[in-house]
Amino acid sequence: MRLLSKLTLFVWLFLGFLIIYFLESVWFNHDSKAPKLLRNIISVNLNRERAIKKYTIDLSSTQYRQIVNTERLKDSSSPYSDFKEKFRDATNVSLAVVACGDRLHETLVMIKSAILFSNNVKLKVVVIADTPLIKGFEEKLSEWKVTVNNSFDYQIKPVAFPENGKEEWRKLFKPCAAQRLFLPSLLKDLDSVLYVDTDTLFLGPLEEVWMHFSRMNSSQMAALAPEHEDPNTGWYNRFARHPYYGELGVNSGVMLMNLTRMRDFGWEKYLAPIYKEFKLKITWGDQDIINIIFHYHPERLYVYSCRYNYRSDHCMYMSVCGDANKHGVAVIHGSRSTFHGDKQPAFKTIYSCMEEYQLGSDPYSNLLLTMENGLDQTSHTNCGKVRKVLTKNLHKYISVKEPFR
C-alpha cells in the first residue's frame, strides 16, 4: 500500500510538472510543439486583450473627441482612411471670415460651400464685416438657415480695429485684411476658429481641416500651409526683404487659430512693433507679419499640406502638390483673382459652379457633374490637365444622386 501511495504521488507530481511546462511554453512562446488545443484555449483571451488595445480613446480635449485606431495611424501615407472613425461624434467647428468692400457675394459663395459640407459638424459661421454689408449677410444667412433646417448657426460682428493706428491697420494690404490679426481679442468667447479668406471654397468636409487641431502639440497655436512647394518659383526665398517662416514662407489664406493659446502667448502685443519695424519692407501685409512672428517662434506653428490651401501656383506650371494629387483638394484658394479672371479657367469654373449651386438641391447633378463638364473645357491649360485632382475630394463625399440635406 505504501509503495502504491508513493507511486500515485509520483504520477500526480509528474502530471503537474507537465501541465506547468505546457502552460509556461504557451505563455512565453518557448515551445512551438505545445499541444494546439491547450495553446488555443489560452490564446483566445490574450488575442481578445490585444484586439482591445488596438483602440485608444483620447479625452485630453473634450473639443476634439476622437476614437483613434493606432494601427491605421502608423500608416501616415493615408491619414484620411479613418476619417469617419475620427468624427463619430459631431464636432463643433467655428468658421471665421472677414469681409469688406465688394466682398459680400464672394464671401457668401464660400459660406455656401462650408454649409454644403457641414453634415457631420455643428457649424458656427462668424462673419466680421463692414457695416454696409451686415444687412446683406443677415438676409442670406437667415434664408439659408431655413433651407438647411437650422443645421448651422451664425454670428455677424462689425469690423473693429484698435483705436491706435486704426486707419493704417484697416488699409494694410487689402481693406480689412489685417482684421484677422486681432481675432484673439475680438472673439474672446471662442477657443478656436478656422479662418479663411473670402476667395476660398471648401471641396470637402470642414472636419478634414479642423482635425489638425487634435494633431497639434501643446506649444502650437496655429496651422498654415506653405506658400510654395518649389524653391524655383518661391516668392519669399527670392524676393522677401524681411524674415519669414522656414525655407519658403507660409500662406495665410486658410488658418487654424487656437485663440486661447494665441492670447496666452500675447499675440497682439507683437503686431504693432513688427509693423513699425518692417512696414516699408512688407508686401503682403498681414501675411508677412504672420510670417515674421513664426520666423522667430517656429515651434508655435503647425504646418499642414498644400491640399488645405490649393492655389494656382500648385498647377500653373506643373502639378507640385503631391498630397492633393493623392488625396484630392480639400480647400481651393482663388488668390490673385483666379476665381474671377480669365488666366485660370479651371479655378473660374469651380467658383462659377459653386456660385450657381442652390443649397438643398442635388449636389451630384447640380454641382459635381456640372463642374466636371466645365473643367473638361479647360483641358488645354496646365491646371485643367489636373482637373481630376480638383474634383477627387468631391467624389468621396458626393457619390450618390441625392441632396446632402
Residue-averaged pLDDT of the chain: 84
| Helices of type H across 28-77 | 36-53, 70-73
Higher per-residue pLDDT: 38 or 334: 334
With a threshold of 0.95, does the pTM exceed it?
A: no
**Does the pLDDT at position 80 exceed 60?**
no
What is the pLDDT averaged over residues 191-217?
Answer: 98
Higher local confidence (pLDDT), 337 or 399: 337
Residues 274-326 have pLDDT tens digits of 999 999 999 999 999 999 999 999 999 999 999 999 999 999 999 999 999 99
What domains lie within the chain, and their CATH numbers?
2-45 (no CATH), 54-89 (no CATH), 90-397 (3.90.550.10)
Q: Coil, strand, or helix at residue 224? A: strand
Least confident window among 15-19, 158-162, 224-228:
15-19
Strand ranges of the sheet holding 222-226, from the earlier edge strand across to the other edge = 152-158, 121-129, 91-99, 192-196, 250-258, 222-226, 301-303
What are 135's three cell numbers?
A: 444687412
pLDDT at 84 over 50: no
pLDDT digits (tens, 9 = 90+) for 350-384: 999 999 999 999 999 999 999 999 999 999 999 99
The Cα diameter of the chain in Å comes to 111
Cβ atoms of 160 and 185 closer than 8 Å: no
Q: Is 227 helix (H, G, I), strand (E, B) or coil?
A: coil
184-196 confidence digits (pLDDT tens): 999 999 999 999 9
> What pLDDT score does 285 carry?
93
Q: What does the alpha-carbon distance between residue 39 and residue 196 come to, in Å, rounded to a whole number?
A: 58
Helix and strand numbers (H, E) in the chain are 19, 11
Asked if 192 contacts 94 with a C-beta cutoff of 8 angstroms, the reply is yes
Neighbours of 68 (CB within 10 A): 16
**Rounded Cα–Cα distance for residues 185 and 326 (Å):** 38
Q: Which three cell numbers stand for residue 134?
A: 451686415
Burial class from Cβ neighbours inside 10 Å (0-12, 13-18, 19+) for residue 401 reads: exposed
Distances in whole angstroms, Cα of residue 1 to Cα of each of 5, 11, 176, 400: 6, 15, 105, 84
Q: Give whichever of 72-76, 118-122, 170-174, 371-375 has the largest mean pLDDT.
A: 371-375
- Of the two residues 52 and 328, the one the predictor is more confident about is 328
